[in-house]
C-alpha cells in the first residue's frame, strides 16, 4: 500500500511590491541603520565618561591619580567591545 503524495506547493510568483511599499521599506531600513549608528556613538561617549568618573571617584577616595586614566581607557575598550559584539557579528 503506497502513501499518498502531498499536494504540490503553489508555484505562483510572489506579489510585486508597489513603489510606495518599497519606499516605506527603505525608509524603515534607513531609520534602523541610523538608530544603530547613533547608539554606537552613545556607547563611545558613555563608556569613557562613566568609567572615567568612577576612576575619579576612586582616585579621590583612595588618594591616587592614575585611576581616572585607567577608567577612561577601560571604558573605551569596553565600549568598542560592546559595539563589536552587538553590531559586528551580523
Q: Which of 81, 54, 82 is nearest to 70 (CA)?
A: 54
pLDDT reported for residue 15: 75
Average pLDDT of each block of 10 consecutive residues along the chain (90 residues)? 60 75 89 89 96 97 96 97 86
Q: What is the pLDDT of residue 1?
A: 54
Cell of 48: 569613557
d(CA 61, CA 27): 50
pLDDT in the model for residue 14:
72
List Cβ neighbours of 46 (8 Å cut-off, separation of 6 or more): 79
Amino acid at each position: 500500500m503506497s502513501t499518498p503524495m502531498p499536494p504540490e506547493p503553489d508555484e505562483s510568483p510572489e506579489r510585486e511590491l508597489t513603489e510606495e511599499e518599497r519606499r516605506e521599506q527603505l525608509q524603515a531600513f534607513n531609520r534602523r541603520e541610523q538608530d544603530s549608528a547613533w547608539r554606537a556613538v552613545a556607547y563611545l561617549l558613555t563608556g569613557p565618561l562613566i568609567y572615567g568618573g568612577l576612576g575619579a571617584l576612586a582616585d579621590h577616595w583612595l588618594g591616587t591619580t592614575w585611576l581616572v586614566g585607567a577608567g577612561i581607557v577601560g571604558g573605551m575598550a569596553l565600549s568598542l567591545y560592546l559595539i563589536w559584539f552587538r553590531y559586528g557579528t551580523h
